[in-house]
Amino acid sequence: MRPFVLEREDTSFYRVRNLLAQYLTSPAVTGYLDGLRDSYRGKGIPFQVEVASKAGVSVLNSESAVLKWLNAFEYHQDPDKQTELRAMYEVFPEPSARALFLYTLLQSAAAVARIGAMIDGWAKSDGSQTGSA
């Protein structure tokens, strides 16, 4: 997921999505891309879990919370972000928070896969699939 999460990467979800939206201007396609963007951000989840701790208020099943968790424990071991999350774990159990982070990340991965499938489908219907003569 990292190449799709990092905004400076050419494969960033937002870069790819915005590039497609720039060239594919059909209302049906742009609506679909907007829905994928919302899913990627965690906004497609029908509920929000908001937790208030001494570190502040966080919506756990949001893109910003997942990025904080990834940078705190999975990518960079950022001590400031670890401190914020540990403060939150005092009022909301870590295993439950991790489940929400992973669920939100899964929604993001599904949005990435849908954009990939969309591109793959167009490439194949255009006759430009790999291995074609």
Q: What is the pLDDT of residues 13-25, one digit of tens each?
A: 999 999 999 999 8
Question: Tell me, what's the pLDDT at 132?
Answer: 45
User: Tell me, what's the pLDDT at 79?
Assistant: 95
Domain assignment of residue 103, given as a range: 2-125
> Left (φ > 0), alpha (ψ -120 to 50) or beta: where does 42 sit?
left
> Would you list the DSSP string of 91-120?
TS-HHHHHHHHHHHHHHHHHHHHHHHHHHH
SS3 58: strand
Asked if residue 132 belongs to a domain, the reply is no
**pLDDT attached to residue 58:** 87
pTM: 0.81
Structure tokens at 74: 């999975």
Q: What is the pLDDT of residues 84-129, one digit of tens each?
A: 999 999 999 999 999 999 999 999 999 999 999 998 988 888 755 4
Element (H, E) at 51: strand 50-53
Residue 80, in any domain of the structure = yes
The verdict on residue 133 lying in a domain is no
DSSP state of 73: I
Per the structure, the count of domains in the chain is 1
What tens digit of pLDDT does each residue of 57-69 get? 889 888 889 999 9
pLDDT tens column, 6-57: 777 788 899 999 999 999 989 999 999 999 999 998 887 888 899 998 888 8
Amino acid at position 125, single letter: S
Is 70 among the domain residues?
Answer: yes
Residue 56 in domain: yes
As a whole number of angstroms, the distance between CA 53 and CA 41 comes to 23
Question: Tokens 């919506």 sit at which residue?
Answer: 59
Cα-Cα-Cα-Cα dihedral of 81, 3, 28, 104, to 10°? -40
At a CB cut-off of 8 Å and minimum separation 6, what does 29 contact? 20, 21
Q: Is residue 131 part of a domain?
A: no
**For residue 10, what are its two tokens?**
């050419």
pLDDT value of residue 121: 87
Tell me the C-alpha distance between 44 and 131, whole Å: 37
Q: Is 98 among the domain residues?
A: yes
Residue 130 lies in a domain: no
